Each structure stands twice: as C-alpha cells, then as structure tokens.
Structure 1
Amino acid sequence: MFLVFSKEKIFTYLISVLTVTLLFVGVANYQTKDQDIIEASSNTGKLLPIYKVKTEQKKVALTMNCAWNADDIDKILEVLKENNVKITFFMVGDWIDKYPKAVKKINDAGQEIRKS
C-alpha cells in the first residue's frame, strides 16, 4: 500500500506544525515575561540560581570559578577587600583538595564559597 501526498498537503502539514510550535513557544514566553523573580528547579529537587530580580538598586552578583590554580587568590582577595566587595567563589572538581590553603584564605576573608 502506498500513500500519495501532494506537495500542497505536505506544505500545509509543515505550516500547521510550524504554527503550533510558534504558538507554544509564544505562550511559554508570555507566561514568564516580566516576572519579578525567575526561580527554577531541576527534576532532582535542587533549586537553581535566580537569574533576574527587578530592583531599582544598582547591584550585581559577582561569581568566580576556581578551576585551574590558586596563583592569584591573594591578589584577588586583596582587591576585593580594598573595595569592600563580596563575591561567591565556585570551587570546581577537586580544586578544594588541591588548594586547601586557598580555600581557607577565601573563607577567612568572609567570601561565600560554593562547590559546583
């Protein structure tokens, strides 16, 4: 048994699928538009970071990934202290085990530490 489709039917089908897809994306985007806080969670139940918060205050959140070495930690901490800035240090992989002194310095400086 052979099914025969004309070019018109195939074109109509593709346009229909594209229209439904665009409607779905538009509705999903509209529902998240202009929310004050966007918070997401994965299927593991862990909360993910908040990426956007409406505020009149001029603030940013600074993060640093500790993944390669600890050569510049002293200078980084010095600059942060001079400018009274707090950031979050994300320590990647086995960086904590490789550089325990740097981890202690970061902690002693009152900076936030997270393991990624």
Structure 2
Amino acid sequence: MFLVFSKEKITTYLVSILTVALLFCMVANFQTHKADSIETSADTGKTLPIYKVKTDEKKVALTMNCAWNADDIDKILEVLKNNDVKITFFMVGNWIDKYPDAVKKINDAGQEIRKS
C-alpha cells in the first residue's frame, strides 16, 4: 500500500505539528515561571517591593509613611506595643532630619525603619 502526499498536505501537516509544538513550549515555559515574580532586563541596582508572599497563614503587612509631622508617634507606638504589632515606617524626604527624636523612639520600639 502506497501513501501519496501532495505538497499542500505535507505543508498542512507540518504547520499543524509546529503549531502544536509551539503551544506546548509556551505552556511549559509559563509553568516554569512563577506567577508572582517580576522579570526585568535592566540591572538598576534597586530592589522591587514585595506585594505578596504565598503562605497558608493569615497575615498582613502594615506600613506607615512618615511625611508630615511627628505629633502622633507616641500614640501610634503605644497602640502597636499594646497589640504586639510590628510595622514598617517609611521616612519620606527629610523627615528623619526634622524629627530625629521620633526616629529614635520608633527604632527603640523595635519597629522597622526604611527611607523612601
């Protein structure tokens, strides 16, 4: 028994096989990359913020931007201490220079400090 294939049939089969192979590669590539990762091509030396972390625990991350004044820092630190809560304080602009006593209180309370 002989099978006769025309150029058109061979081309159709070849395109179909290549399409299936391409789709397979795309799915395999998608599965290997984490959905939560961010890929960049430029090395800027900056770290990207973490927006979420996979965990089965019920947790939340709290942050506070220190940008205006330091009037309520004592009250805020007291509430955090009474509830055994740790947060990250982001110091905006020259806030650190304007309110060094508040920065020391935040640090002494064991809270995390970052400059934004």
Q: Which runs of 4+ in 1 moved over 2 A?
A: 34-43
| Aligned mates of 2:39, 2:106 — CA distance in 1 | 28
The alignment-based identity, stated in percent, is 77
- SS at 2:71 equivalent: coil
Which gives a bigger RCO, structure 1 or 2 (Cα 8 Å, sep 6+)?
2
Q: Where does the alignment leave 5 or more consecutive residues of structure 2 unmatched?
A: 1-25
How is 1:1-116 mapped onto 2 (pairs within 5 angstroms)? 31=30, 35=34, 37-39=36-38, 43-116=43-116
Q: Figure out how many residues of one structure are paired with residues of the other and give that number.
A: 87
Q: 1:38 offset after TM fit, Å?
A: 3.1
For the structure 1 residues 76 and 35, does the alpha-carbon distance in structure 2 shift closer, same or farther, using more than 3 Å as the test? same
Q: Where does the alignment leave 5 or more consecutive residues of structure 1 unmatched?
A: 1-26
TM-score, L = length of structure 1: 0.66
| Aligned mates of 2:110, 2:68 — CA distance in 1 | 22
Larger radius of gyration: 2
| Aligned mates of 1:97, 1:48 — CA distance in 2 | 26
- SS at 2:81 equivalent: helix
TM-score, L = length of structure 2: 0.66
Q: Which amino acid aligns with 1:74?
A: D
- Contact conserved, 1:88 with 1:113, CA < 8 A, in 2? yes
